[in-house]
Chain A
Amino acid sequence: MARPGILRDWFLIRRDLPHRRRLALAAVSFLLPITIWCVVSYVPWIWHPDVKIELSAEREGVTTVFTAGDHVSPEFFPEFQAAVRAENKAVLAAREAGNPESGAKRKNQKLLRQLAPVAIGNGWLAYDDAQNDAVLYPLWGDLATGRKTAAKPALTAENLQIVRANWELLAAASPVFAFAKLPDEPLLKLIPQGRPANPVYLPAPHEAIRAGIRDFTAAAPAGEPTMFERYKRSLRIILLGFLWSCVIGIPIGILCGVFDFFSRLFEPFVDFFRYMPAPTFSTLLVAVLLAGDAPKIALVIIGTVFQMILVISKTTRLLDPSLLEAAQTLGAKPRQILGRVVIPGIMPNLYNDLRILLGWAWTWLVIAELIGVKSGLTEFIETQGRFRNFDRVFPVIILIGVTGFVTDQILSWLHGLLFPWAGKSGAFSRGVAGVVTWPIRMVAEGARERIAANEAYSRTNPRDKTR
């Protein structure tokens, strides 16, 4: 039985697939990892080895304070709950015995804030306003009387009961928040709530997106750059580093490729130097260039320029020798060969080399930003990673990836535009190139015509030339 058309001809040995199929596969190559990420994150019975705390409680005499969003092991979580239940039991026992502890105002104030993650999750409170007692206090009442019902996360029956019990005491004291009027005896603590979650280093896609949007839109804390300033600073370092590498590397690379003299003079040392990992120079660079961006840019240069010299000299050597022979036969001088034959000849390949080297420079950026005073996007990744806020780290890593990918795609497209003869251009970019270069071509054509006319004139009037 013949297979239907759509299933046929996917696996052709050394032959390109039709354009549409290639596009479809390119899309799938992105969708595949994203789908895996979603499946692992959202299908509850796959993995999920941790418990993510949605509502937390502080324990007496323990300095480790868990807050909503922290991950704990499923073995520890029941212990945590049990510890809080035991504390509640003790409070109730003391209350019944008629000698409750006193001086618990501050403790109660913190206890009331237990509801903050619930309030934020349900949209009753802004994300950065978790200590807004004036809003949180009446919320206890609303939840106790059923005027409001928490949906994400929903309160357990046990916790609802605690809310009601606490509100009885609170309502008797004051309908609105006033520190002085808080009960003096301890209230009951809400029992921690949690849900199964993946390890902290693999946040779900929506968590990463939410954190990313928050980080990129929210105002930065006092004295810290915003995300866009960080981004700009990172880009500045990489671009300056790369530009300086080009300024140094391209001329030397071309000279090495053309003249054996320069090749022998530079390449052995460059070959040796490039094996010294650039990060080993970091402390030295900081000592010489002090803090600020200078040592960072220098690190990117060190990491890039030596490879650049070698790659470009190789590209130069690969230029079709028949071009050089032809030029020499026509009597071109070395300087003319360099300027008129070699440089235009290697341009398309040189451009591609630079594209790859720019990608190379990106890898040094991360290390460069860690030396001296940490800066830019990497500083953010570093600090947030240290505090295990990986949902905030992912968007930044992806941003760096997207930046690199998009720049490379644009540069690749420009390649067709700049070097239409190199044969990798589509009809569209050729069209654009045609329009952009039109004035230049017109001028050049005019010049050519004038020269031709002059030559024709001198040929018909040979005497003019001798004069």
Chain B
Amino acid sequence: MKTILRLGSAALGLITTCGLLRAEPLKIAYSDWPGWIAWEIGIQKGWFKEAGVEVDFQWFDYVPSMDAYVAGKVDAVCMTNGDALVTGATGKPSVGIVINDFSNGNDMIVAAPGIGSIKELKGKKVGLEEGFVEHLLLLTGLEKNGMKLEDVTIVNTPTNETPQVFASKAVDAIGAWQPNSGQALKAVPGSKPVFTSADAPGIIYDLLYVSPESLEKRRDDWAKVVKVWYKIADYMRDEENLDDVLKILSARVKISPEEYEPFLKGTYILTLDEALKRWEKADGLGSVYGSSKVVDDFNVRFKVYEKPQDTAKYLDPSLTKALAAGK
């Protein structure tokens, strides 16, 4: 009997080892935010294979990408630090291992012609994805202008539909990020951004969030992904590569390179050194910890979810720090 058990366990061990050897590619969901479109450079240049990690980047619309993560269809998803808390509080927790960028103007509240400021939005309809990043941006804008949640009516609109909805005049303003906000600005001549993430830099960080199980099981592979990211960040920083970068990125979202170029300013891609500073634990929006705390308070106050989240649990700088130490 014992021999059979031993044989059995040996066979089991063999099977699991085989499973590990033929490791599945890491499935990563990404969407049309300029900071995440940047992964495309690594994908197209074959840098992941070079680094010895199999990845399967899957292109989604933003909210469906988080749905896919919650449903367990992917191992990781690109989210803002705020939406990671929302997804964690209502669906499935995750751990951020790479800070891609902070939003520096590409997230916008775009208002119809004739509306010149946030204050003039009082009593108007705003189309955005309820409970997610642009909602947070709008609420921040309202609060900065001494207004209340009830001063505007939110119309739940998928971000990639906002340009059409805005052009149809069904709403007076929309909340969206580039390239969607740019499409909206173009679709309605005379419209303009009344509040952008540049007015509150650091309120929105964009990260790669990994499922805790996958991070535990395949830490080495994720470390390689982090390494490739900083190769991408360095490549983008070099002005000589600008045309190549623009070509790859603009093709992903099917606009022209000229139209894409202004986005680079609105999404501040962090290099390794800059990212390390943002990983330091501190209060305030200069640190991803501080920012997440601010957003968490905010979400609870505005009842996006009920209980405050343990924000530190959502963040793991160890892979980034290890990479910096190894250099």
Chain A contact residues, CB within 8 Å of chain B: 58, 63-67, 70, 72-73, 75-76, 106, 110, 113, 130-131, 221-222, 287, 290-291, 373, 383-384, 386-388
Contact = CB atoms under 8 A, between A and B. Distances in A.
A73 B113 CA distance: 13
Contacts of B12: none
A113 B183 contact: no
Given A65-B261, A67-B258, A383-B254, A106 B242 contact: yes
B254 A64 contact: no
A110 B185 contact: no
Contact of A386 (B58, B163, B185, B247): B163
Given A63-B178, A63-B265, 11 more contacts: A63-B262, A64-B185, A67-B258, A106-B239, A110-B258, A131-B243, A221-B251, A384-B254, A386-B164, A386-B183, A387-B183
A63 B71 contact: no
Nearest to A63: B262
A58 B260 CA distance: 12
B258 A76 contact: no
A67 B44 contact: no
Interface of B: 44, 58, 71, 73, 105, 160, 163-164, 178, 182-183, 185-187, 189-190, 239, 242-243, 247, 251, 254-259, 261-263, 265-266
Given A65-B261, A131-B243, A386-B160, A76 B255 contact: no
7 contacts: A63-B185, A64-B185, A64-B186, A75-B189, A76-B189, A110-B258, A222-B44
A66 B256 CA distance: 10
Nearest to A389: B254
B57 to A, nearest CB: 10
A388 B182 CA distance: 13
A58 B257 CA distance: 12
A384 B183 CA distance: 12
A67 B190 contact: no
Contact of A131 (B183, B257, B265): B257
Question: B interface, by DSSP: helix, strand, loop or mixed?
Answer: helix
A387 B255 contact: yes
A67 B186 CA distance: 11
Contacts of B256: 65, 67, 130
A392 to B, nearest CB: 10
Contacts of A222: 44, 251
Contact of B182 (A63, A106, A384, A386): A63
A120 B84 CA distance: 46
A73 B190 CA distance: 10
Q: Of residues B44, B243, B255, which shows the largest number of chain A Cβ atoms within 10 Å of its Cβ?
A: B243
Contacts of A72: 189
B207 to A, nearest CB: 24
Nearest to A387: B254
Q: Lowest 9 CB-CB distances: which A-B pairs, in order? A: A63-B262, A76-B189, A65-B259, A64-B185, A73-B189, A67-B256, A65-B258, A221-B251, A72-B189
A63 B177 CA distance: 12
B32 to A, nearest CB: 11
A58 B258 CA distance: 9
Contacts of B58: 373
B184 to A, nearest CB: 10
Contacts of B259: 65, 67
Contacts of A65: 182, 256, 258-259, 261-262
A282 to B, nearest CB: 12
Nearest to B180: A386
A67 B71 CA distance: 40
A199 to B, nearest CB: 11
Nearest to B257: A131
Contacts of B263: 63
Nearest to B247: A131
A58 B259 CA distance: 9
Given A65-B259, A386-B160, A287 B183 contact: no
B118 to A, nearest CB: 18
Nearest to A64: B185
Given A58-B258, A70-B186, A63 B266 contact: yes
Contacts of B239: 106
B182 A64 contact: yes
Contacts of A131: 243, 247, 257
Contacts of A388: 183, 187
Contacts of A58: 258
B183, B251, B254 — which one has the most chain A CB atoms within 10 A of its CB? B254
Contacts of A373: 58
Contacts of B187: 388
A67 B266 CA distance: 20
A63 B255 CA distance: 14
Contacts of A106: 239, 242
A110 B266 CA distance: 19
A297 to B, nearest CB: 20
A58 B255 CA distance: 15
A106 B262 CA distance: 13
A387 B73 CA distance: 29
Contact of B190 (A66, A76, A291, A387): A76
Contacts of A130: 256
A372 to B, nearest CB: 10
A383 B164 CA distance: 12
Contacts of A75: 189
A359 B66 CA distance: 36
Nearest to A69: B256
A335 B202 CA distance: 77
A67 B44 CA distance: 26
A291 B29 CA distance: 14
Contact of B71 (A70, A110, A287, A384): A287
A142 B227 CA distance: 48
A137 to B, nearest CB: 14
Nearest to A384: B254
B238 to A, nearest CB: 13
A65 B263 CA distance: 11
A388 B163 CA distance: 10
A70 B183 CA distance: 11
Contacts of B190: 76
A272 to B, nearest CB: 30
Contact of B186 (A66, A113, A290, A383): A66
A67 B189 CA distance: 14
